[in-house]
Structure 1
Amino acid sequence: MHADDVSLQSLIGSETAADPAFVFDGTPVSRAEFSGMVEQTTAWLAAQGIGKGDVVAVWLVNRVEWVALLFAAARLGAVVAAVNTRYRSAEVAHLLKLSGAKLLVVEAAFRSIDFASVLADIAKDEVPALQELAVIGADAIPAQWPCIRFDAFDKPYPPAPMPQDNVDLPVLLYTTSGTTKGPKLVAHSQRTLATHANSVAKALQLSPRRHSLLAMLPFCGTFGMTSLLGFIAAGATVHVLDAFEAAPALQILSEHKITHAFGSDEMFRRILALTDEQRPFPHLRVCGFAAFQPGWRELAAEAEARGLPLFGLYGSSEVQALFSIARPSDAFADRIEGGGWPMSPEAKVRVRDTETGELAAQDVSGEIEISAPSCFLGYFNNPEATRDAITADGFFRTGDIGRLRDGAFVYETRAGDAMRLGGFLVAPGEIEDEIKSCADVADAQVVAVDLKGHARCVAFVIPAGTSPQQEVLTARLRERLASYKVPARIYVVDAFPVTDSANGVKIQRAKLRTMAMERIAAE
């Protein structure tokens, strides 16, 4: 394959240059216009001193600048670190420090998100590499770093010289949950992104005129970005929501006869709840969904009855979202399960028995291992974690439990203790470290429970001297963490339930979960 064929630029194509590539807030952007925006953004980045290997952190909602920055960074050999708009100061600081970002492109403001106040809680010496903020929507925001306006589309900058052969260098960093401190950064290249985008377009048999996507997932995560790139590769139109809200999603699905949408079970539940029509979306062909909440099977059955066809799928930051998806020919019960058929014909999936360490037979559960063109380059600046994640013969150890089934596979659950909160995979250690940094806390453990149909976390703390107040701890955590990570309950205990094993004393998280549910029930 020629290097040009696996660049991000190659996805834009030229045959359908006048067709809309995107519709942002009702405004169409043609492929030719988007190519021009990429040129302008490339020149703007170069004028800010961004070149090969430099990291630019992008902290934006879904807007055309986000996509233009990624494609422009690719042309310069630079790297985009994707920042979740729901992140708070501790998380933003961790990502900026770990990535070594020189420049942060940030929203001036968006709905209730006060970006400036989040940044105000980050000490300059926590993120020594950061030199400058580029603000979208204002000349500056109150900050301790110099600010410039992102004005790439408003005035001309001198064209940038293009370094060559960047398709295998890191171009995009996603955050992923570790089991210890903060998240790791998953590095992807133009080759891994573009190859997978083409696989998605081909596997879903997308055609430019017949198909369209409602992009309602954030571009900062692989679920939102992969679906976006797949539809760009297909030449199909993408209708973009800056951030998910059920009412505008419903309107776009209906008015624009959208054929494809990807999201969480909760997103589809909220959209369906807004309409009384028996079959409101006759044009929808595929709704790929991730099951994060209890009751997703019931939702899938209701959605099916109302003509909203849900398809189970599988993905991760490391192998990218839409790694696999169910097929229309699958029986309904199989179609809604996580897993499915890999998008790429070159992908290999196997399952390893966690007891014996041998490869498992069909229908036997074990850890899912994957080798595919969509696989990541490694964890950015973390060779040790990368080595641990890859088998001797080059398969990625997913940390997920599943089983093989007739050429497809079924995802069953996450191995270990990672929690699914607010639609994101979160390591307990990340929240525990923040709680332990609070006054009057000696130790903390966090578990996830089902609270009124939503996965929420509950914390148990051992006091250091005076017993800490739940209200004080909660207020502190709200300043430091995304809202979905803030514990719904904080219980003070004298000790955690433990068990002795050959490898030392282990905390019984299952016992903590039971304790949490009993206490909540008693309330």
Structure 2
Amino acid sequence: MSANQFSLQSLIDVEPAADPAFVFDGTPVSRAEFSAQVERTAAWLAAQGIGKGDVVAVWLVNRVEWLALLFAAARLGAVVAAVNTRYRSAEVAHLLKLSGAKLMVVEAAFRAIDFAAILADVARNEVPALQRLAVVGTDEIPGQWPCVRFDAFDKPYPPAPPAQGDVDLPVLLYTTSGTTKGPKLVVHSQRTLATHAVSVARALNLSPQRHSLLAMLPFCGTFGMTSLLGFVAAGATIHMLDAFEAAPALEILGKHKITHSFGSDEMFRRILALTDAPRPFPHLEICGFAAFQPGWRELAAEAEARGLPLFGLYGSSEVQALFSIARASDAFADRIEGGGWPMSPEALVRVRNIETGELAAQGVSGEIEISAPSRFLGYFNNPGATREAITADGFFRTGDIGRLRGDGAFVYETRAGDAMRLGGFLVAPGEIEDELKACTGVADAQVVAVDLKGSARCIAFVIPTSEPPQHEQLTARLRDRLAGYKVPARIYLVDAFPVTDSANGVKIQRARLRAMAMERIAAE
């Protein structure tokens, strides 16, 4: 295959294809119109001094311009650094400094997000490489940097130089969870993005005539971008939400007979809550979901009964989202688990015993390792972290715990940092949490492991119902249902769990729960 077949532009040029390619805010955009927009954007970027190897930070909500910037940067050999719209000043400063971005394309404001106020808290000397801002929606943001208006192409610019042909150059930087020093930047090339997009389109058997996508995840994260590019590669129409809201999502799903959507469990929960119709989405075929909140199994059962078919999946910034997904032929209990079948026939998944370092047999839990065409190039300007993340034979160490099913699929169980070593055994928190939630008086539950008198013990946090449970009754039931080493040493009642916002949804702060457990134990 030629290098052009691994370019982002090749995804737009696919035939046959539906028109429009995109629908945003009720406005259709054809593939020809989008290609012309990419050319105009590339010419504009070149006029701003952006060329091969330069980094452009994109801090936008979902819009067609976001995708045009990515494709235009690829055209020039430049790099896009995706900025999470939930970020605040310290996080934005860290990303700008780490990426060395020369230009930032930014919203002036969006609903409750005051981008200008956030930037006002970023000291210019913190991000010396940043030269100017390109603002969407207004001429300038008052502050420390010169501004140009991004979405005004009435001025003619010289055509962009010939397309950069090296599809293995960095083109997109995602942020990923990091240490106290801030998140790392995951590097992808056109080849990794385009080949995975084609794999997604083929694995899902997408047809431009039959299928369509509701894109409601943020494009700044791999979950939103991968699903978007997969449907571009399929030639299918994509309906975009600038940011997720349940009401417009509900309307688009019904009005446009959407067949596919991807999101968090909380997104689908909110959509279902807005309609009393017994089966409100008869055209939906696949809703791929990431389980971030407790109660996701109950949600999946309700959604199934109402014709909203949820499919478990797996991915990360390093191997891209939608790396794998369940199949319709899977039993329901298997279909809603994280993991599934790799999208690419070239992908390899193995599991390594974290105690012995040996490869684990099927059904035995350990760290998931992945080799695939979708694998990242490395961490941006961080060769040490890259070496630590990739094995000598090229597999990515995911830091996730799972097991092989034995039929070609695998099951994701938990993050390695969340897995608990209890009684000498590796235990996923969800196993104990599910038992707690089945107890009378328990609305929700989370468990963590802490060191208690020299041994790892499970500590539970429970949100009670209106009639709080009795500690002794909970413990007695769990002793009947679970091995002794899995029974929590302490059960604490709380009003809510500590959470944090991510690009894809709200996640439980398990590290904070562990700290809370140690604080309460110390107070005893």
Using structure 1 for the length normalisation, give the TM-score.
0.82
- Measure how far apart 1:32 and its partner are: 0.4
Q: 1:330 to 1:166 in 2, by over 3 A?
A: same
Query: How far apart in 2 are the matches of 1:417 and 1:509?
Result: 12
- Measure how far apart 1:59 and its partner are: 0.1
Q: List aligned pairs for 1:15-414, cutoff 5 A.
A: 15-16=15-16, 19-151=19-151, 153-162=153-162, 164-405=164-405, 406-414=407-415
Q: 1:412 to 1:485 in 2, by over 3 A?
A: closer
Q: Per the alignment, in what secondary structure is the counterpart of residue 179 of structure 2?
A: coil
Q: Please, which runs of 5 or more residues in structure 1 have no aligned partner?
A: 419-446, 459-477, 489-507
Instruction: State the Cα deviation string for residues 11-36 of structure 1 (Å, max 9, x = none).
Output: 00164577111000110000000000
Q: Per the alignment, in what secondary structure is the counterpart of residue 183 of structure 1?
A: strand
Instruction: State the Cα deviation string for residues 55-112 of structure 1 (Å, max 9, x = none).
Output: 0000000011100000000000000000011100000000000000000000011001
Q: Per the alignment, in what secondary structure is the counterpart of residue 178 of structure 2?
A: coil
CA contact (8 A) 1:448 1:457 kept: no
Q: Match for 1:416: what amino acid?
A: G
Q: Match for 2:324: what amino acid?
A: S
Query: How far apart in 2 are the matches of 1:48 and 1:152?
Result: 14
Q: Per the alignment, in what secondary structure is the counterpart of residue 350 of structure 2?
A: strand
Moved over 4 A (4+): 447-455, 484-488, 508-511, 515-519
Q: 1:106 to 1:358 in 2, by over 3 A?
A: same
CA contact (8 A) 1:290 1:313 kept: yes
Instruction: State the Cα deviation string for residues 222-247 of structure 1 (Å, max 9, x = none).
Output: 00000000000000000000000000
Query: How far apart in 1 are the matches of 2:314 and 2:268?
Result: 17
Quick one: percent identity of the two aligned structures?
82
- Measure how far apart 1:166 and its partner are: 2.3
Instruction: State the Cα deviation string for residues 301-337 of structure 1 (Å, max 9, x = none).
Output: 0000000000000000000000000000000000000
- Measure how far apart 1:157 and its partner are: 1.2
CA contact (8 A) 2:17 2:208 kept: no
Query: How far apart in 2 are the matches of 1:284 and 1:138?
Result: 38
Query: How far apart in 1 are the matches of 2:24 and 2:460?
Result: 36
CA contact (8 A) 1:60 1:107 kept: yes
Q: Please, which runs of 5 or more residues in structure 2 have no aligned partner?
A: 420-458, 464-493
Q: Match for 1:264: what amino acid?
A: S
Q: 1:289 to 1:386 in 2, by over 3 A?
A: same
CA contact (8 A) 2:312 2:335 kept: yes
171-180 or 99-108: which moved more?
Answer: 171-180
Q: 1:166 to 1:272 in 2, by over 3 A?
A: same
Count of paired positions: 453
Q: Match for 2:38: what amino acid?
A: V
Query: How far apart in 1 are the matches of 2:333 and 2:108?
Result: 46
- Measure how far apart 1:485 and its partner are: 9.2
Q: Per the alignment, in what secondary structure is the counterpart of residue 498 of structure 2?
A: strand
Aligned pair 1:456/2:498, yes or no? yes
Q: Match for 2:515: what amino acid?
A: L
Query: How far apart in 2 are the matches of 1:235 and 1:85?
Result: 28
2:416 is aligned to: 415
CA contact (8 A) 1:287 1:311 kept: yes
1:470 is aligned to: none
Query: How far apart in 2 are the matches of 1:487 and 1:236?
Result: 35
2:517 is aligned to: 514
Q: 1:110 to 1:510 in 2, by over 3 A?
A: closer
Query: How far apart in 2 are the matches of 1:448 and 1:349?
Result: 32
